[in-house]
Amino acid sequence: QVQTGTIWAHDDVARQAATTLGDPVVAGPLLTVAHTSPIVLTPELLETTYIEPLDIYVRQTLDIFSYRKNEKEIPATIPLTIDRKVSARLAKELLFHTSTNPSQGATDDWDAEVRRSGVIPPAPFSDDAIDEVHELVQAMQANLAAKAIDVAELKSVDVDIEIEPGVKVVGAIPMCTQGPEMIATAIYFRASAKSYEYGPALHRLAIRLLIARAAGIPIKNGYVLARHEKWPKDESHIVRERIVVLDPSMTLAQAKERLSALSDMARTALVSPCAGFGKAATADDQEKANEFDVFVSSDDFHTSDEFLVFGNDPEFEEVFHAKSAVLAFWKQHQKLFTLPDKDSKTEYLVK
């Protein structure tokens, strides 16, 4: 029943709002609520920021998986060789298998299981492929033994540090030796160009050493071991190895400052496509435009993430203009580390 002067509604909230409509507002003091949740970055994100910053924007921001499978027609014949991915996976399996099962019997059992699995051609066509895997693993085992590194004993080291107010790095540094002076290890098995795995591995370990220094973790050096890209065609070297050293004079506080700069770069890479366009991003100012054109006109451009993000006909001035976040990112990138000009010495010193 409708009653004059009485507000009625099915919804109590709506009725209360109508009842108080027009009432004077009593202003109280404003309260400041502290934001207690820090920004948390992982070591993996920081590594990718330095090595492949555009990958962060494509995969995490756009949520695009840009891998393109090489769709070649597969002939209806029995394969007589194995591809590089399969060879790399088998070498990795064998290295870790023999580190925990060093007997010849265990190795023979592994060989028999691989042959039964069908991932390699049937005997005798698989003999060369399996011998190549064994030769690579034996060379790796010899180099690891010379450095007193036991693959079976490698462990991840947890990291949880605040690098600036409200910003933390939380995660783990993988494959570290144990003891008072640890070594962060990275092992790669793919037979590709140096720039595919080996080169990025040097930078990846530099970031891990920086994180360890900032966290006060006693990781002395990094160690990269990789299949040599020219083997087995060139039999003089089966593997490449380098010791990665972070400048001993860098203090914990200085390492945190570098990580703070890298965290700023990571946040930029999440919102801006920080593309390198080949050598353009790191070239001298007078060479940037030329290197940009070289990359865009190359055969690799149409399979790159740059093509995916910027399209078929990107303009240098639109990407690397004076106020560009991309240009600012790469300027920070070049200031983060001083790297060796050539990878020709046993130690790769990062300053």
Tens-place pLDDT, residues 192-211: 778 889 999 999 999 999 99
Tell me how far CA of residue 261 lies from CA of 244, 314, 331, 332, in angstroms: 21, 29, 11, 8
pLDDT of residue 38: 86
d(CA 78, CA 121): 7
d(CA 19, CA 17): 5
d(CA 141, CA 94): 11
DSSP code at position 297: T
Residues ≥6 apart with Cβ < 8 Å to 12: none
Which residues of 42-154 form beta strands (DSSP E)? none
Q: What is the pLDDT of residues 32-71, one digit of tens each?
A: 555 567 899 999 999 999 999 999 999 999 998 766 555 5
Q: What is the pLDDT of residues 149-194, one digit of tens each?
A: 999 999 999 999 999 999 999 999 999 999 889 999 999 998 777 8
Beta bridge partners of 53: none
pLDDT of residue 89: 94
Q: Which amino acid is at 344?
A: S
Q: 3-state class of 298 per DSSP?
A: coil
This prediction has a pTM of 0.85
pLDDT of residue 25: 46
d(CA 342, CA 351): 14
d(CA 93, CA 340): 33
pLDDT of residue 15: 53
Residue with the two structure tokens 């003091």:
29
d(CA 141, CA 279): 36
The answer to whether the Cα torsion of 53, 54, 59, 61 is positive or negative is: positive
Residue with the two structure tokens 């070498």:
91
Q: Which amino acid is at 340?
A: P
Q: What is the largest CA-CA distance in the chain?
A: 101
Supply the mean pLDDT for the chain: 88
Length of the chain: 351
Mean pLDDT across the stretch 315-320?
95
